[in-house]
Amino acid sequence: MNKALNILINVLSEPSVLVALIALVGLLAQRKNLSDILKGTTKTFVGFLVISAGAGVLQQALAPFGDMFKAAFHVSGIVPNNEAIVALAVSKYGSSTALIMFFGMIVNLLIARFTRFKYIFLTGHITLYMSCMIAIILSVSGFTSVSLILFGALTVGIFMSLSPAVVQPFVRKLTGNDNVALGHSGAVGFAIGGLVGMAVKGKKDIVSTEQINFPKGLGFLRDSTVSIALTMAVFYIIVALFAGPAYVESHLSNGKNYILFALLQAGLFSAGVFIILSGVRLVLAEIVPAFKGISSKIVPNSKPALDVPIVYTYAPNAVLIGFFSSFVGGIVSMLILVLSGGIVILPGVVPHFFTGAAAGVFGNTMGGVRGAILGAFVNGVLISFMPILLIPVLGDLGLANATFSDSDFGVVGLFLSGLNQMGGKTITMIGIGLVLLIMILVSLKKPKSSAQ
């Protein structure tokens, strides 16, 4: 049984395999010839591996930046990390996590088939992390065996359907169509970034981050690969200077000159972004046509909800601005927490990059440069304070000072814990059922235009 569950987790949490299977089903549903099926499935599979490889390169480049930052400014505290807390939890909650994840994906398909929420969530690792958090919180709330799996799966399925819906109006505005959706655990932060952009856009014409006019002599900065590499080089070198050569060369660079190391990491960061953008283009070219088979034959009018890098190609400058603004929001939040004397959340560069970049893109879409800066900054504050609120509801894991990072984890976790505090298991079950009922009732009302 445990071996089967491990295989299930491995398959369902691997985006490249999951999305390749979806592409395969979609192409088979369209009765494509063998050549097209093999090409579409393989390119979708490889494309997601390219995105994963790019994300790995980015994380490899960001890890020493975070270490240098802590050493340079002598700060300590908790760095929210989804992978770390799931690794801690899997020994105790692994079986329930796998079952909640599996049945949650079925609930997502049923919701997409029979309601107005036509999103099929395909970011497997996010589903795994959310399933794990829900397993922890419901277990702490007293759920066991069948009730744990049933209400856990319902909650995951609802999240997989509502999370893309929250940010889809901004995705449509960004892409100019309704072909794809966003499947990530930072949707609330992304939507807030878009709303902030709307609030600060002003009465004048919006100046996009992609329309920034560089002097002729700085025309090379129009190339996003060049501008990202040079901008990151400045930041890496500044942080390396504060950390000092002794720390960098003895702890991070294996004796390599600390300035040279900083430059190499900046170049590695830019390479990671380049790889991700290349993978995104490859995947979108294949998954959207392949998904037509599912949306027309199996789940009518459905949309694939894909991982957050799919939006980066639309505004590369906003990606970089969003990352820095979100990170600054994390630093400001950290200073407030230090002064307040409570738990200190250190700004994790990985969550601030992936969620801050997207918040910057949507902030830019709605409000230009100001929207990108302020929208991502608010996201940075959000993912700094929400993890603190989650710590008390995670039981023994909370006592171990581990917590999840992105905004949706905070929203779902606090919703479940709030229901439990109001009336234990009974109110929690009623609350989850009511959300599903509201989704069904909303779907019974005929939409004025296309499904949302």
What is the tens place of the pLDDT at every residue in 49-80? 898 888 888 888 888 888 898 888 887 778 78
Is there a contact between 383 and 352 (Cβ–Cβ < 8 Å)? Answer: yes
Which residues constitute the domain of residue 377? 2-440
C-alpha torsion sign, points 412, 414, 420, 422: negative
Query: Burial letters for 276-299: b for 16+ Cβ neighbours within 10 Å, e otherwise?
Result: bbbbbebbbebbbbbbebbbeeeb
Q: Is the pLDDT of residue 448 over 60?
A: no
- Describe the crossing of helices 407-444 and 82-114 by its angle, rounded to 10 degrees: 10
Q: Which tokens belong to 250?
A: 């003895």
Asked if the structure places residue 342 within a domain, the reply is yes
The confidence band for 17, taking pLDDT boundaries of 50, 70 and 90, is confident
Mean predicted lDDT score pLDDT of the chain: 87
Contacts with 36 (C-beta within 8 Å, 6 or more apart), sequence order: 27
Is 163 part of any domain? yes
CA–CA separation, 342 vs 131, rounded Å? 29
Let me know if residue 29 belongs to a domain. Answer: yes
Q: Please state, for a pLDDT cut of 70, what percent of the chain lies above it.
A: 92
pLDDT at res. 279: 86
Q: How sure is the predictor about 214, in pLDDT bands with cuts at 50, 70 and 90?
A: low
The answer to whether residue 247 sits within a structural domain is yes
pLDDT of residue 221: 60
Domain assignment of residue 447, yes or no: no
Question: Does residue 448 sit within a domain?
Answer: no
378-396: per-residue pLDDT in tens? 999 999 999 888 888 887 7
Reading the block at residue 417, the tokens are 């814990």
User: Per the confidence metrics, is the pTM higher than 0.85?
Assistant: no
Work out the number of other CB atoms within 10 angstroms of the CB of residue 392: 12
Helices 407-444 and 145-175, packing angle to 10 deg: 90
Residue in the block written with tokens 């970011």: 123
Nearest alpha carbon to residue 354 among 328, 380, 334: 380
What's the average model confidence in pLDDT over 203-208? 75
Q: Hey, which residues does 182 pair with through a beta bridge?
A: 306
In this prediction, residues 139-161 reach a mean pLDDT of: 94
Collect all residues with Cβ–Cβ distance below 8 Å to 118 and sequence separation of at least 6: 112, 295, 299, 300, 301, 302, 303, 451
Domain presence at residue 307: yes
100 falls within a domain: yes
Q: Dump pLDDT digits (tens) for 283-317.
A: 888 887 887 777 777 888 899 999 999 999 999 88
To 10 degrees, what angle do helices 145-175 and 124-140 make?
140
The total domain count for the chain is 1
What pLDDT does 203 receive?
Answer: 67
Mean pLDDT (whole number) for 349-374: 93
